[in-house]
């Protein structure tokens, strides 16, 4: 069984929770030496941290 930790609130995400979500952060996007790292989060934690004028096309 794989465990997930929310990168925003630090809480474990139960694998049977419907809202386990993944973020892929790509640093140096416009350069050749860009790197990526995957994070997990609750979708609600992600949405709470976005600015109000950032559109999210998720339920
Ligand atoms: Zn969370």
What spacing in Å lies between the alpha carbon of 51 and ligand 1's midpoint?
A: 17
Q: How far apart are the first and last CA of the chain?
A: 27
What spacing in Å lies between the alpha carbon of 10 and ligand 1's midpoint?
A: 6
- Local structure of residue 16 (DSSP, 8 states): T
Q: Which residues, by Cβ under 5 Å, contact ligand 1, an ion?
A: 6, 8-9, 42, 45
What pLDDT is recorded for position 7? 95
Q: Phi, psi at residue 46, to the nearest 5°?
A: -65, -50
Each of the 59 residues of the chain gets a pLDDT tens digit; together they read 578 899 999 999 886 656 678 999 999 999 999 999 999 998 889 999 999 999 988 76
What pLDDT is recorded for position 17? 59
- Long-range contact pairs involving 31-40 (C-beta distance under 8 Å, separation at least 24): 39/7, 40/4, 40/5, 40/6, 40/7, 40/13
What pLDDT is recorded for position 14? 80
Q: Is the pTM of this model over 0.85?
A: no
What pLDDT is recorded for position 18? 62
Pairing of strands 4-5, 35-42: unpaired
């Amino acid at each position: 069984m794989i465990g997930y930790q929310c990168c925003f609130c630090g809480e474990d995400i139960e694998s049977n929770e419907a809202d386990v979500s993944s973020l892929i952060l790509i640093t140096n996007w416009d350069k050749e030496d860009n790197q990526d790292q995957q994070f997990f989060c609750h979708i609600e934690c992600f949405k709470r941290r976005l600015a109000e004028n950032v559109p999210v096309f998720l339920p």
